[in-house]
Structure 1
């Protein structure tokens, strides 16, 4: 039975994700700062941006945690199955 191999994230993918996140955050902050609005409206939009960013990180962490739990459960189930198969003797005669 083959174990699933999780490939590590490449450096290029990590850099691309970090740069795209940085660009989107900076451009949104710049757009909010340059809008022709009052301080209260600008503060409200900035607070909304902060909420979106933090909730995105939280969602990513929850997805990652759920995936890791699934992988651990799969490995435990696989180990139990392998133990049962290794302990099973098809030629054993069981009393009635």
Structure 2
């Protein structure tokens, strides 16, 4: 979530400067932060909806990976977000 938040802030700054090329990156990072936050909260509360939220988080992170990929070589924030999502999806897949 920290990497997604940094990516969100970076994309917002560029968007405010008129650079719309990171629009998809911003949208998916927002979705990732939202769904991962909900999943973390559900895990803390041992919610019956944890599995469904986790699947949604993985889907959001996969979209974020694809959106950040084109920007990863040019923006450190996008690279960190991309790499964090890749690691999280791999960890989630290892759990089953």
TM-score normalised over the length of structure 2: 0.32
TM-score normalised over the length of structure 1: 0.32
Structure showing greater relative contact order (alpha-carbon pairs closer than 8 Å, 6 or more residues apart): 2
Kindly name which structure, 1 or 2, has the bigger radius of gyration based on alpha carbons: 1
